[in-house]
Amino acid sequence: MKKEDLLLTMNEIDESYITEAASENISGKRKGCTFKKRFGIAAACFCAVAAALGFILFLPNRTKLPDVSRYADSEYYAIIQKINELYATPPEYKNNFDRLMSMLSPTDEKSAEDMTGDALEGVDAAPSYQETTDNQVEGVIEGDLLKRTDQYLFYLDNGVLKVFSIAGLDSTQVGEYSLTAQEDTLFLYTDSAEFFLSQDGKTITVLLPGNASGPNGCILLLSLDVSDPGNIREANRVILTGGYQSARVTNGKLLLISEFRINGTDFSREANFVPQIDTGNGFESIPAENIISPECVTSTRYTVVSKYDEATLTLEDTLAFLSYSEDLYVSEENVFVTRRFIEEADKEDLSAVQTEVSGLRYAGEKLSLLGSVVVPGYVKDQYSLDEYEGILRLVTTTDFAAATSASLYCIDLANWKVAASVENFAPKGETVRSVRFDKTAAYVCTAIEISDPVFFFDLSDLNNITYKDTGTIAGFSTSLVNFGNGFLLGIGVGAEWASLKVEVYEEATADVVSVCAYELPSVNFSEFYKSYLIDRENHLIGLGYTDQSEMIDRYLLLSFDGYRLHVLADFPLFGDCQTKRAAYIDGSLYAFGTDDFAVVPILENQP
């Protein structure tokens, strides 16, 4: 219906009133009075309805932000203003009449805001943050499901900490502890937990996600005394609000990285919009001076970095980054957090995705902000970032000629400026699938569909960065690993989507060549690096998989002799591929699955 037609309809008078009036005049004076009363009532009602409708239709929509001045005395007032501005987007229509006309005359065009959302949704979203079984950074220990001492193996099996002796085929379970046995106030997500083992092997610190009111969960830090594996007991606990992202232990300090979601614009309760920590005296808000935010907030989430004493779980400091909610990387002294966004002026340009990286130093007594930098594109995961000799290196998927490509950026942390870059080095249309840095080398796998090149970068001279690649090969690697002795290991998808490929590469004079590959068709496997056994000393690669044809869960162990990959073991092991773990100790493979444990002698099977 057009605007003109609707306006005419609103001003028309029903002709039945005219007919009724004529008949009542003929019938006499009494009927005429009845007609006048009815007509007057009808006219009054119509005018009232028309006036109300007109008021509702043409009442101007709000153009100002909601008033939050009553919170001006709050230490969080600057944060409140930014959050309020993010939630209170400008009105799309002048009034309800314009809105109605838009509904009656729909268009296929999308607003810039909608297109921005689509652009970010379309970006190859990074998966949830994952840990690794061997450290990305030497000396910075990462949480996992399997840890060991000289005598015992500790495995976290869906909420039950199990302890096994290290005795080859004579190994037995010597103790266990249920994480929920002593818990009557929280619902805990035991399938997402992981833990650290102290250097003396006597204390385990479990990081355990749980529930809480509102959109945020909570994280329980649980300290367990495991000095007697047959009698494990709780020693200490700390709770903070938010979702668990990651953790590190280094030099006796525990770094906990969590996510906190803002719960609307009710600023009367700090718990709705400020992260909370309970160190034993009830939940308290993070101080305002410990919250860092960009000028323009683009996300309603925080990344929170908390520093604890590993032995006592005493909170030493915390910093919260508002609007940061993507990937993070922890180096020997610093934590780097990222956020992806599109500039307001470029919201109609779906290719204008950018990433801001901010760094904080954790090596001192207090957490301190270092600086930030913005680069084009977006990072895939933690392995896309690396710090080496004062330079932060990162690889992003970038826009190139209305398609995608990949770019490498080197940031000088002395001034947070781009010191060197190699932009759009991948073939048009490809995205970053995996990255690994190793001192002055960088390895990048890009792919479109299931074919890829693997690139090798020489970063020894930032004024003259060179690179070479394998050319297009079948499949792509979701994990790249320096396998030692000049070899690069790739684990990922083979020639078919439902296939596993383990491939070894070597740098040649002019390119990177494939030395050998092992492929399994029709299988499911974990793409998370933390679930792999990578033993460089003994040249072993192990991982769990599910045979799709027989639907049997199994574990595979491969050995590399410098020329070929050999199967050392392939045996049934029940459980999710992502949570299976294994350790090679003195000629035996100790493998753990869901309520499953196996010891497999290996030495006599080696080629």
pLDDT in tens, 34-60: 545 555 665 555 555 555 555 555 555
Question: Phi and psi at residue 523, in whole multiples of 5°?
Answer: -135, 155
Q: What is the mean pLDDT of residues 588-603?
A: 95
10 Å Cβ neighbour count for 296?
12
Q: Which of 179-183, 220-224, 392-396, 570-574 has the lowest mean pLDDT?
A: 179-183
| Average per-residue pLDDT for the chain | 83
Residues 94-112 pLDDT 10s: 445 444 444 444 444 333 3
Percentage of the chain exceeding pLDDT 90: 61
Q: Is the confidence at residue 529, as pLDDT, over 50? A: yes
26 pLDDT band (50/70/90 cuts)?
A: very low
Q: Is the confidence at residue 132, as pLDDT, over 50? A: no
Q: Which of 335-344, 346-355, 487-496 has the lowest mean pLDDT?
A: 346-355
Per-residue model confidence (pLDDT) at position 142: 92
Residues 396-442 pLDDT 10s: 999 888 899 999 999 999 999 999 999 999 999 999 999 999 999 99
Percentage of the chain exceeding pLDDT 70: 79
Per-residue model confidence (pLDDT) at position 27: 41
Give residue limits of the domains in the chain. Answer: 3-122
Per-residue model confidence (pLDDT) at position 274: 94
Q: Is the confidence at residue 114, as pLDDT, over 50? A: no
Distances (CA, A) of 393 to 8, 128, 130, 456, 574: 66, 22, 20, 14, 40
What tokens does 504 get?
Answer: 């070894």
Per-residue model confidence (pLDDT) at position 60: 54
- Look up tokens 């650290």; give the residue: 196
Q: Is the confidence at residue 3, as pLDDT, over 70? A: no
Q: What is the mean pLDDT of residues 316-333?
A: 90
Per-residue model confidence (pLDDT) at position 85: 87
- Convert 13-63 into a string of H (helix), E (strand) and C (coil): CCCHHHHHHHHHHHHCHHHHHHHHHHHHHHHHHHHHHHHHHHHHHHCECCC
* 320 vs 17: which has the higher pLDDT: 320
Q: What is the mean pLDDT of residues 283-291?
A: 93
Per-residue model confidence (pLDDT) at position 6: 38
